[in-house]
Amino acid sequence: MLYRPGFIAALFAVMALMGTSVMSPASAGVTDQDIANDAKTTSQIVTNGMGRAAQRFSPLKTVNKSNVNKLVPVWAFSFGGEKQRGQEAQPLIYDGVMYVTASYSRLFAVDIKTGEELWQYDARLPDGIMPCCDVINRGAAIYGGMVYFGTLDAKLVALDSKTGKVKWKKKLGDYKAGYSMTAAPMIVKGKVITGVSGGEFGIVGKVEARDAKTGKLAWSRPVIEGHMGTLNGKPSTMTGKKNATWPGDMWKWGGGATWLGGTYDEETDTIFYGTGNPAPWNSHLRKGDNLYAASRIGLNPDTGEIKWHYQTTPWEGWDFDGVNEVVSFNSGGKKLAATADRNGFFYVLDRTNGKLVNATPFVKQISWAKEIDLKTGRPVFIDSNRAGDPTKSEGKKGKAIFSVPSFLGGKNWMPMAYSQNTGLFYVPSNEWGMDLWNEQVTYKKGAAYLGAGFTIKPLFEDYIGSLKAIDPKDGSIKWEMKNNAPLWAGVMTTAGGLVFTGTPEGYFMALDDQTGKVLWKFQTGSGVVSQPVTWDQDGEQYVAVVSGWGGAVPLWGGDVAKRVKHLNQGGSVWVFKMPKG
């Protein structure tokens, strides 16, 4: 049957008069255009990173340097129960609803005006899950009427965004082998893009794309050379060349977990992902560069083929994962990207081809490398600061060293932010080192595959955490805010001249983006290790953060963990705004 445009308009008018619901653009779900415009649209947040470039910059400036000290809580929402540990999620805001994940693979939909729960989804986790670094979840993706997130038993779940009902569920890997998923998925061209966690169990890192409507696998790209990729259900191409940079069979359990998630650059049509440490930690078992572990890679979003790579730590031997976020920005007419590595160096790359532009240290006393050679792009190693080969020792352990940074990194998972106002990056970092030694190890499915031992130690008595403002042009540090406990929260900047972040001591705070002066802080009752967001509704600017101490530090922190053992766990969302008038 054919309808004329006038008839359609009349029909909609009659339906409206009769009280019949008419599908609005919002109820139709998040579109590709919504995602593309997320960095500029202030009334909603539909991407992890507050925009595809992951700059975590908001153009809002109602809340600014002159009035931020007047921010007050509007509502708080508790995740409840006994599952209050390690809350690292970034909330999403869409069509009057906040979507926020929580520890133990939970997802909540909350009314953004009242803080009332609309629905809750709890993944039924099996016994025997093996999360490396706490039971955290870093967020969701939303698209076309569905919301997506990963679970600790390595599943990707798609839920109806209105009801929380499961639309589909797909397995990403065998949790009994150590696979899990903690990162927020990403939407690119109608596909859900995911990585995997579990590098400490000898899994093989990979990036995969699935049809957002059905969950059908479109392509899979392992990031360790020698493994075969797939495209449309068929083998495609091998990653790299087998045994080019890996000895023997070590590539089969090569690690390289893609556990933090990726970003997408529309200008070059490229997905950026970071890859984790090669496995095992004992580097003497796998002499070679061990591609593509400890690297940043650029992927074709249509096929999953690797377009370029840059390896931050060849022949990695300190657990310096290369997963840290790749943040796109333009400077001097050039398409650039910045990334701050676990190894303590801040890198600027040409994002069209992955070539190194600059690399500078952003933490103190780095001991594993003298510098990054800007001509070759490779580190200049300090050979004496590689833990010894246990086969050349009389005991079971190789020669121990003291290394800086520690394996938890100069910067770990917590995302940095870029300010379009100042042109600076705001990087949450930590000043610590570790005793490190190698041990013999063989791969066994589902068992820890380290071949190393370690103890983390602080470098300074008065602080560990350090929020730094870094100029990407030359790597200079413009200011530094020191914190007693390690910093483990993400950062957000705004056009109001503010930098928002949190501390394990429980404070959510706003700093002056030019000086680092703390202008406002609020005690949330538990450590802040999450990612703040801001949006406007009804003409007012809101700011939100998730509170709940946990993550890797209390589990792996050695002497550092003793410094923060008194901190209380929790699980809640705090929302703030300016009082009217």
Who's near 307: CB < 8 A, 6+ residues apart? Answer: 270, 298, 299, 300, 354
User: Measured in whole angstroms, how far is the alpha carbon of residue 50 from the centre of its chain?
Assistant: 12
- For residues 551-579, average pLDDT: 90
Query: Percent of the chain scored above 70 by pLDDT?
Result: 95
pTM for this model (two decimals): 0.94
Interatomic CA distance for residues 27 and 13, integer angstroms:
18
Q: Which pLDDT score is estimated for 18?
A: 37
Out of 20-24, 299-303, 331-335, 464-468, pick the least confident: 20-24
Residue-level pLDDT at 474: 98
Task: Give catalytic residues, as residue numbers.
Answer: 319
- Give the end-to-end CA distance of the chain in Å, rounded to a whole number: 56
pLDDT band of residue 24 (cuts 50, 70, 90) is: very low
Per-residue model confidence as pLDDT tens digits over 213-234:
999 999 999 999 999 999 999 9
Q: What is the pLDDT of residues 144-169, one digit of tens each?
A: 999 999 999 999 999 999 999 999 99
Q: Determine if the peptide bond prior to 280 is cis (ω within 30°).
A: yes
Q: How confident is the model at residue 561 (pLDDT cuts 50, 70, 90)?
A: confident
Give dist(CA 138, CA 88) in Å, integer.
5
Span 61-80, mean pLDDT? 97
Q: Please tell me the predicted confidence (pLDDT) of residue 14.
A: 39
CA atoms within 13 A of residue 14's CA, in its CB half-sphere: 6
Confidence at residue 12, expressed as pLDDT on a 0 to 100 scale: 38
pLDDT of residue 133: 87
How far is Cα 465 from Cα 480, in angstroms, rounded to an integer? 10
User: For residues 430 and 467, what is the distance between their CA atoms, to the nearest angstrom?
Assistant: 8
**What domains are there in the chain, each with its CATH number?**
26-577 (2.140.10.10)
Torsion of CA 131, 134, 138, 143, to 10 degrees: 40
- 167 Cβ contact partners less than 8 Å away, ≥ 6 residues apart: 146, 158, 159, 160
* Residues in contact with 10: Cβ distance below 8 Å, sequence separation at least 6, in sequence order: none
- What pLDDT score does 27 carry? 52
Q: Give me 484's structure tokens.
A: 């007693």
Among residues 152, 392, 373, 195, the alpha carbon closest in space to that of 297 is found at 195
Q: What does DSSP assign to residue 390? A: G
The pLDDT, as a whole number, for residue 271 is: 98
pLDDT at 1 over 60: no
How far lies 137's CA from each of 99, 106, 107, 121, 191, in Å?
A: 13, 8, 9, 13, 21
In angstroms, what CA-CA distances link 77 with 42, 98, 108, 146, 574?
22, 11, 10, 22, 7
**Residue 277 and residue 409: Cα distance in Å, rounded?**
12
* 477: amino acid identity, one letter: I
Q: Is the CB of residue 73 less than 8 Å from the CB of residue 575?
A: yes
Say whether 69 sits in a helix, a strand or coil: helix
> Rounded to an integer, what is the distance from CA 4 to the centroid of its chain?
49
pLDDT-derived band at 38, boundaries 50, 70, 90: very high
Residue 81: its pLDDT value, please? 80
Element holding 509 (H helix, E strand): strand 507-512
Angstrom distance (rounded) from CA 427 to CA 253? 32
Nearest of 226, 236, 60, 28 to residue 146 by alpha carbon: 28
- pLDDT at 559 exceeding the cut of 90: no
pLDDT tens digits for range 86-138: 999 999 999 999 999 999 999 999 999 999 999 999 999 999 898 888 999 99
377-398 average pLDDT score = 93
Determine how β-strand 186-188 pairs with β-strand 72-78.
unpaired
